Chain A
Amino acid sequence: MPHQQNKLFKDWQGYLYIMPWFIGFICFALGPIVVSFFMSFTRWSMLSSPQWIGLENYSEILLRDPLVGKSLWNTAYYVLFSVPLGIALSLGLALLLNQKLRGIGLFRTLFFLPSVTNLVAVSILWMWIFNPEFGLLNRALEWTGIEGPLWLQSETWSKPALILMSLWGIGGGMIIMLAALQGIPPELYEAADLDGAKRWRKFWHITAPMISPALFFNLIMNMIGSFQVFTQAFVMTASAGQGSEGAPNNSTLFFVLYLYKKAFQQFKMGYASALAWILFIIILLFTLLQFNLSRRWVYYEAGGRS
């Protein structure tokens, strides 16, 4: 016992040093998480004291609110297309940029730069790109004889537009893939060359397994990020004034955007908290599923398959 006390006393400086992070974590992460869980069982407008209503918020979300289904569908559509597309393109780019060429560093920087640009600024830029008459995209389509759609103002094209825009940020994933590609021991390729393996076989039997942890990491992070898509939909569809976010006809009403509207436009904090917890559970389930599936395809050099 005295030995333990002595150890605690000796370590107090360490505790003091981690205190700022720990206080921040309690105040700005753990605290709000716990409070939001409690709030999800209440009716709370921020200004009056919360009223305990049990599972009413959850039953309304799951059984009666038609916009929950709509926003979940929009989010699922976005995740389904933006995640695979993003991963495929970031891998493709990483493969292209994994060359020993003069000035390759410049290209890597150029492709990475968009991903560190502020998303609000990027959204405004893309609003111009999607402008049906003067935008770059429709101008380019016009040259090929295709009449471009209304993009953000079209119920059919608004989600594809946002998916297309999401590819702007693939630089982050590309860097991780590039690092993974550069970590593959060249001896593996040399051995494959000796065996007469062609490019595709080398990719499939060496590159893919060796970068599978990076692919898996990107898959998980992209999936979580895509489930939480908000900023671009909020900025790009709010031009018609407050309340128009998610237009046209709720085609860009993503789950987090709906949550935001409930919380900060309608001030239903309890309801919004319940929405947040439902999203958390959805993301958790999909993440667990991915971890489960990863055993079949993710290869860890140190310990074989995960």
Chain B
Amino acid sequence: MKTLNICLGAVLLAAGVANLGCGTGDDTASVTLTFNVPANANQIQNLRQDLPQFEKRTGVKIKLYPFTGQEKLYAMMAAGQAPDIFYTNTVVRDRLAAEKRLLDLRTVSKGDPFVQRIRPEFIDRGTSIDGGWYQFCDWTFTYAFYYNRDLFRRAGLAFPDISWTWNDMLRSAQALTIDSDGDGKPEQYGLFIAKHFVDAFEQMNGARFERNALFYSLSAESRDALAAYLDLMNRYRVMPDVSLMQAQGMQMTQLLNSGRAAMAVEALPNPDVFSGLEIDWDVAPLPRMGDHPPAYFRSASGGLSISAGCRDPQAAWEFLKWLITESRYNTPNPILSDVDFVGDWQESYPVLQNTQFARVWRLSEEYDGGDPRDFVRYSSWSSSAILEILAPRMDLLFAGKIDLDQLAAAETEINRNVERELDKLLKSNLDSLFLRHVETQIAAHRAEGKTGR
């Protein structure tokens, strides 16, 4: 029995040692790149089917890992197992670049004519304060009002067109709001704009957001846009309570399909919305606000980055190019200047041919206002310090518990928190170029006498 136990122990030990030595296995085979892919199950399935085409042509194998959050990506990096290609948003991008975790794409794209095909603004938005291009923007979208044409017809209203204004929108919404029993709870609301879309209206109202700004300030334009937004709910009552809608977890398609709202803001293009809407619908651009020149929302908050430790950066670059040109992952891709994005989408989704999709999209190209969403509008270095104080205040504002004056008064507290964070950052061992930028901005902020100290 004793001998048997010894033998068993020896076998287990040997198996364990052998397993430790296994490693990744096919080190001698062709290059294998890992791609932490930020896509839904359908997109991943399509990509898996398309990959052999790339692998056959280049001899490079691609392993797909679904992206499951920034925290897991960080953990993989900390463990020295960063994927070769992964998703980054603008909040973490600068930080990762300063930690020297990202490859500067200029090193692999130098002399490649493909770069000329990318719209310059998307290279610019993937560029960090040290001038390095760290993020390959792989998609963009705009916001639009989706509306129910039948309800407009029934109310005898003209459909919104590309020149409509905030006041036109308000008048239509008033005409479309129906409270037949007069209990103050309309059965049909004129419109719905979820609170995370309000940033785009600040932008339409002339608010400008400096991408690398470290400190928070509530501009007059932002404030007016927020006031106009709150009025839709509290003064004109053409929009349901945003907290209630969030508590109900209602999707925009449910709101429109059920006739609960006649218009609602959502991303464009959005295949889920196209397939989910069961009404006669069309799209309109966000309305012009005041005399401000239009600045339509155009997302560019995230993209794909190549790890600084990538085993074959050139192959990774070739993969990125293939991804947005030949695979079914986000193609045809609007970041390329030489594709017929509108035409191809209309072909893929014939329902769009009967809408103003093309006109709305072209407006967003012509008057590109950038991406002012709250989670990407502040600098990588101060975003969390701003949002951890600001977000609860915004909750209170939308719930009607504080007013805009009280929101503006939070500026000092927010920036005090930012300064505390930046002081710590300056003591860190990050890349000095990034730290110099931070130092310069703090000095400018203090020189303006805005310090929260």
Contacts and interface: CB of A to CB of B under 8 A. Distances in A.
Contact of B395 (A131, A239, A249, A266): A249
Given A51-B427, A127-B249, A150-B243, A267 B388 contact: no
Interface stretch (B73-81, B168-176, B267-275, B315-323): B73-81
A244 B387 CA distance: 10
Nearest to B242: A153
Contacts of A134: 248
A7 B420 CA distance: 60
A45 B99 contact: yes
B375 A241 contact: yes
B9 interface: yes
Given A43-B424, A45-B99, A64-B420, A240 B196 contact: yes
B247 A150 contact: yes
A46 B391 contact: no
A184 B387 CA distance: 56
8 contacts: A43-B427, A47-B101, A131-B248, A132-B247, A243-B384, A243-B391, A249-B401, A267-B71
B424 to A, nearest CB: 7
Closest A-B pairs by Cβ, 5 of them: A264-B71, A153-B247, A248-B395, A46-B78, A249-B392
B196 A241 contact: yes
Contacts of B388: 67, 261
Contact of B428 (A51, A155, A243): A51
A118 interface: no
Interface string B413-448: 000000010001001111000000000000000000
B396 interface: yes
Contacts of B5: 13
Contacts of B70: 265
A249 B398 CA distance: 11
A241 B194 CA distance: 12
A257 to B, nearest CB: 12
Given A47-B99, A241-B196, A249 B396 contact: yes
Interface in A46-64: 46-49, 51, 64
A152 B395 contact: no
Interface residues of A, number: 38
A264 B424 CA distance: 18
Given A155-B395, A266-B384, A150 B244 contact: yes
A133 B248 contact: yes
Nearest to B6: A13
A154 B101 CA distance: 41
A214 B325 CA distance: 66
Contacts of B77: 46-47
Nearest to A260: B71
B157 interface: no
B375 A131 contact: no
Contacts of B249: 127, 131, 239
A166 B101 CA distance: 42
Interface in B60-79: 70-71, 74-75, 77-78
A240 to B, nearest CB: 6
Nearest to A134: B248
B399 A155 contact: yes
B96 interface: yes
Contacts of B384: 243, 265-266
B246 interface: yes
Contacts of B392: 247-250
A144 interface: no
A47 to B, nearest CB: 5
A264 B395 CA distance: 23
A204 B249 CA distance: 47
A242 interface: yes
A255 to B, nearest CB: 15
Interface in A232-288: 239-244, 247-250, 261, 264-267
Given A153-B244, A241-B375, A48 B395 contact: no
Interface string B86-104: 0000000001100101000
A239 B71 CA distance: 18
Nearest to B424: A43
Nearest to B388: A67
Contact of A46 (B9, B75, B247): B75
Given A48-B99, A155-B399, A247-B391, A265 B71 contact: yes
A25 B96 CA distance: 33
Contacts of B391: 243-244, 247
Contacts of B420: 64
A210 B249 CA distance: 48
B401 A155 contact: yes
B407 to A, nearest CB: 12
A47 B392 CA distance: 29
B246 A239 contact: yes
B387 A153 contact: no
Interface in A135-165: 150-155
A191 interface: no
Contacts of A116: none
Contact of B375 (A127, A154, A242, A247): A242
Interface in A107-138: 127, 130-134
Contacts of A13: 5, 9
Residue from B243, B244, B387, B396 with most neighbouring chain A CB atoms (10 Å): B243
A250 B395 CA distance: 9
B8 to A, nearest CB: 10
A48 B430 contact: yes
A101 interface: no
Contact of A16 (B9, B71, B78, B248): B9
Residue from B388, B420, B430 with most neighbouring chain A CB atoms (10 Å): B388
Residue from B196, B243, B247 with most neighbouring chain A CB atoms (10 Å): B247
A266 B71 CA distance: 9
A49 B248 CA distance: 45
A132 B387 contact: no
A241 B5 CA distance: 55
